[in-house]
């Protein structure tokens, strides 16, 4: 982890953002020797659970409860 003073961060902000995006390395910004902020690469949040993952994307067409009939068994002979 790299540490940088706030005044230097202010002067090089855009270049540091590019560096973090490219390398993924976190930069700690300090003010008067104390850490006040971290600059790190953005990572999209991961799904917490698989339940509901495809909600709104999957639909049921037709009757899924009634028996499908004897045609399936005839096809398997």
Contact 25, 2 (CB under 8 A): yes
pLDDT score of 76: 59
Q: Give the separation between CA 39 and CA 23, rounded to whole angstroms.
A: 12
What gap in Å lies between CA 39 and CA 25, rounded to an integer?
9
Contacts of 13 (CB under 8 A, 6+ apart): none
| Greatest extent of the chain over all pairs of C-alpha atoms, in Å | 82
Q: Would the pLDDT of 46 be above 90? A: no
Tens digit of each residue's pLDDT (9 = 90 or more) over 54-75: 888 888 888 778 776 666 556 5
Do 26 and 1 touch, CB atoms closer than 8 A? Answer: yes
At residue 7, does pLDDT exceed 70?
yes
């Amino acid at each position: 982890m790299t540490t940088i003073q706030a005044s230097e961060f202010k002067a090089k902000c855009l270049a540091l953002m590019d560096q973090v995006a490219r390398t993924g390395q976190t930069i700690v910004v300090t003010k008067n020797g104390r850490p006040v902020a971290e600059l790190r690469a953005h990572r999209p949040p991961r799904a917490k659970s698989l339940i509901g993952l495809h909600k709104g994307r999957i639909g049921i067409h037709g009757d899924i409860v009634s028996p499908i009939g004897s045609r399936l068994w005839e096809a398997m002979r």
